[in-house]
Structure 1
Amino acid sequence: MKEPEPADDAAVTKRARRREQYLSLGLGELAAAAVFGFVASFLVTPRFTDRAATVALWWALTPLIAILVQGGCYWLLAREWVGDSPMPRTTATVYSVLRVVNVALLAAGLAGVLWWWPADNATALLVFAVWFVGVVEYVNYFQKRLSYPMHRWFATVGQWRTPQLVRDLRSARPGHS
């Protein structure tokens, strides 16, 4: 049996590390979606005194939770091709469609928030902030990377790097090398 080349060992180790990182990112995004839903359902909305605040919060939360779930699924799926091959075309097609659908979801979410605008200013600010976090997540996944370790955030966020999801979408295009 042939011994693996040192360069091969390094590639395998790098791939294994990235797979672990992607598992952590994927489960983290799914956990975040669950936490947002749980906190909204059981801790926040029971304290609201008017129905409009509850409805507005769910209009704000729906796109955020959808984007977090999509992100979590992306990271878990990407474990299969990271460092090995391009994103499968079917997956790329799904995420290309979601890229457009998410804009519509965010627009509908904002329309719902504005329609059901809470009377209480603090509640209105909370609802708008939740919707805005959804916008930030969308930008982070589909436009420009905004998520970095805290110790490097200020030094790197201004570089406007391309998100990994977008790089994977590009790698799935025909003729991409």
Structure 2
Amino acid sequence: MKSTENIWHEYHMKLTAFIRGKVAEDVVDDLLQDVFIKIHTRIDSLKENKKLESWLYQITRNTVIDYYRSRRPTKNLPDWIEQPQHDEKETIRKELSSCLEPMVKELPDKYREAVRLSELEHKNQKEIAEMENISLSGAKSRVQRGRALLKTMLHDCCQIEINHNNTLVSYKKKNKYCKYC
């Protein structure tokens, strides 16, 4: 087994060049130092000397990745982006739920029942297939088609805003004479 000092003499220039190609010049020496600290503390975990070089580069790659992860900025949302408070979210959810009920009633029978069982009674598609006496793929198809019809009806009626977390933020009725809302 090679000592850390021998590894330094043989590989520090190669590893420096590798790191230099990945990060700004002012952090190369710091990262190289981190790499050699990891090498020194983990050298006993290396089983085969012939895998030394790939092991060294793996440590170096991981150190560079850790460097970039630690620098990832955490940004607060700008003040002009208002996030609805919990009460607002609940109000929006209740209002849209009241719109969905008449929409579900408008669905063709087979889709209405599949959506009702899936979304309201929280049955899985296998259970729906058994209850409706249809194949599993038939149940999946009915649930998907029912959801798609509901989505179309909802988008015809309302303009919906969803954030990057796929959470409903707001909605606005497109037409005040919508027959559902």
Is the strand fraction higher in 1 or 2? 2
What TM-score does the superposition give when structure 1 sets the normalisation length? 0.24
Is the helix fraction higher in 1 or 2? 1
What TM-score does the superposition give when structure 2 sets the normalisation length? 0.23
